[in-house]
Chain A
Amino acid sequence: MTTTVGIRSKDGVVLAADKRASKGFFVGSKVVQKIFSLDGATAVAIAGAMSDAEYLVNLAKAERRLLALRRGYPLSVKESAKLISNIVYSSMKSYNPFYVELVVAGVDREGAHVYTSDMSGAITSEDFMSSGSGSPIAYGVLEQGFRKEFSLDEARKLAEAAVRAAMERDPGSGNGVDVLAIPNGHAFGGAN
């Protein structure tokens, strides 16, 4: 269930997600937040089992805080994505997987990045990525609409349009869109 979208633009990243939590064929909640910030410059959009995803995000937050305190500077987006995928991978290998597909997006010294990590721990990075049951529909909009030279605002508009398209045809997605835009050079670090 769920549709999440992450887009990389020349001046930042955008995350978008719908607000529906499904319980089988029932709409369990219409106001669920699926975008979580790991700190001021990195965020995660979650799809899959909400309990697994929220636990994973909290675990990643704790591990990131520890590492940032120990070494004195925060994690890059790639490091954050790899941290999450390592946790997911080891769980899969011990037959106790996290039922999640996450989009990790953020800005760091090297600019804007978007990664997805699935429940096997595989990570991929592209200019735009989508996860959840509505992702095939969202990808249709993204493939048609994406331009490399997009500004942050244009990326934000496309992300929202992709999630809205998925909400029209995917019964697992709906009830509104949350969007988070992180501009390049955004104060990165911060404990939360």
Chain B
Amino acid sequence: MASGEMGRMPFFYNQEGRLVQVDYALQAVSRGSTTLGLKTKDFALLSSQVKPTRPLMEPAEKVFVVDDHIGATGSGYIGDVTTLLDQVRVAAQRHRLVYDEPIDVGTLSRTLSEYLHEFTMYAVRPFGASVLLAGVDDLGVQLLQVDPSGTTFKGSAFAIGQSSDEALETIVKGYRPDLSVEAALALATEAIEAVNGGKSVIEHGLVTAASKRFEHQQLPNAVA
């Protein structure tokens, strides 16, 4: 097949073996607001910068409750983020209906990743959003990142969105496995503010192994 023909079918692999639509989706994510996830064995923290709003406009919600014990945040096209969020919320409730138990974070991320993957297979636009999931289940505190390709990463710290590489550097420098919640809040705030030119409005969400509940609140610079 001539390369010109391939160019007209962007949902196929190109000659380097890349799915350009998925690459573009990742680029869309990297234009989103800086968003972080941080995990120790005792808690997981999600933090997202809320982009400066116009006067008289309320800031958008950035950190979401998925179920009692799981929370999510995302970066990229906010419409795509909220659509994906609804998918995981429905998956969490469906799991409760079938098993009468709260869903575990791994199963939830698998559901999300399978859903995202569908959109890399056909002539449709993949989601322009990455999602961070934080929760507590029988395996402990969990933090996962799910990308538009459907790829899932497990880990102790993630950064997505604008200047995510620099933000992650700050996190890596300050991260310790015995971090306190207060220190983690300060570290996340520092990392986001360092790449966004100072004081920013940041929304945080927290789940602890002790409470097993994901709580989020608008905390404009809780730790300045």
Task: Judge if A191 is at the interface, Cβ distance under 8 Å.
Answer: yes
Q: Which of A8-16, A41-49, A59-67, A141-149 touches B? A: A59-67
Docked-complex contact A62 and B94, CB < 8 angstroms: yes
Docked-complex contact B68 and A66, CB < 8 angstroms: no
Known: A58-B100, A191-B67, A191-B68. A69 touches B94 (CB 8 A): no
Q: How many A-B residue pairs have CB under 8 A?
A: 25
- Chain B residues contacting A191 (CB-CB under 8 Å) are 67-68
- Chain A residues contacting B64 (CB-CB under 8 Å) are 69
Most chain B Cβ neighbours within 10 Å, of A61, A69, A191, A192 = A69
Chain B residues numbered 185-216 whose CB sits less than 8 Å from any CB in chain A: none
Docked-complex contact B96 and A69, CB < 8 angstroms: no
Chain A residues numbered 102-119 whose CB sits less than 8 Å from any CB in chain B: none
Q: How far is the CA of A69 from the CA of B68 in the complex (A)?
A: 10
**Min C-beta distance of B215 to chain A, whole Å:** 12
- Chain B residues contacting A192 (CB-CB under 8 Å) are 68
**Min C-beta distance of B78 to chain A, whole Å:** 15
Q: Would you give the 0/1 interface string for A50-76, flagging 1 where the beta carbon is closer than 8 Å to chain B?
A: 000000001101110110011000000
Q: Would you give the 0/1 interface string for A80-110, flagging 1 where the beta carbon is closer than 8 Å to chain B?
A: 0000000000000000000000000000000
**Min C-beta distance of A72 to chain B, whole Å:** 9
A59 touches which of B67, B86, B97, B100 (Cβ 8 Å): B97
Interface of A is mostly: helix
Q: Would you give the 0/1 interface string for B66-97, flagging 1 where the beta carbon is closer than 8 Å to chain A?
A: 11100000000000000000100110011011
A70 touches which of B67, B89, B94, B100 (Cβ 8 Å): B89
Task: Judge if B108 is at the interface, Cβ distance under 8 Å.
Answer: no
Docked-complex contact B89 and A58, CB < 8 angstroms: no
Docked-complex contact B90 and A58, CB < 8 angstroms: no
For chain B, which range describes its interface: under 10, 10 to 19, 20 to 34, or 35 or more residues? 10 to 19
Task: Judge if B19 is at the interface, Cβ distance under 8 Å.
Answer: no
Docked-complex contact B86 and A65, CB < 8 angstroms: no
**Min C-beta distance of A189 to chain B, whole Å:** 12
Docked-complex contact A58 and B97, CB < 8 angstroms: yes
**Min C-beta distance of B82 to chain A, whole Å:** 10
Q: How far is the CA of A24 from the CA of B88 in the complex (A)?
A: 43
Q: How far is the CA of A65 from the CA of B176 in the complex (A)?
A: 36
Docked-complex contact A66 and B90, CB < 8 angstroms: yes
Q: How far is the CA of A69 from the CA of B90 in the complex (A)?
A: 11
Docked-complex contact A58 and B67, CB < 8 angstroms: no
- Chain A residues contacting B67 (CB-CB under 8 Å) are 65, 191
Task: Judge if B20 is at the interface, Cβ distance under 8 Å.
Answer: no
Docked-complex contact B96 and A58, CB < 8 angstroms: yes
Q: How far is the CA of A61 from the CA of B96 in the complex (A)?
A: 9
- Chain A residues contacting B93 (CB-CB under 8 Å) are 62-63, 65-66
Task: Judge if B65 is at the interface, Cβ distance under 8 Å.
Answer: yes
**Min C-beta distance of A58 to chain B, whole Å:** 6
Docked-complex contact A66 and B96, CB < 8 angstroms: no
In the complex, residue of chain B having the shortest beta-carbon distance to the beta carbon of A62: B93
Q: How far is the CA of A24 from the CA of B68 in the complex (A)?
A: 40
Q: How far is the CA of A9 from the CA of B65 in the complex (A)?
A: 35
**Min C-beta distance of B56 to chain A, whole Å:** 21
- Chain A residues contacting B86 (CB-CB under 8 Å) are 70
A-B residue pairs, 5 tightest by C-beta: A62-B93, A191-B68, A62-B97, A66-B93, A58-B97
User: Can you name 11 A-B pairs with beta carbons within 8 Å?
Assistant: A58-B96, A58-B100, A59-B97, A62-B96, A66-B89, A66-B90, A66-B93, A69-B64, A69-B65, A69-B66, A191-B67
Partner-A contacts on B (CB < 8 A): 64-68, 86, 89-90, 93-94, 96-97, 100
Partner-B contacts on A (CB < 8 A): 58-59, 61-63, 65-66, 69-70, 191-192
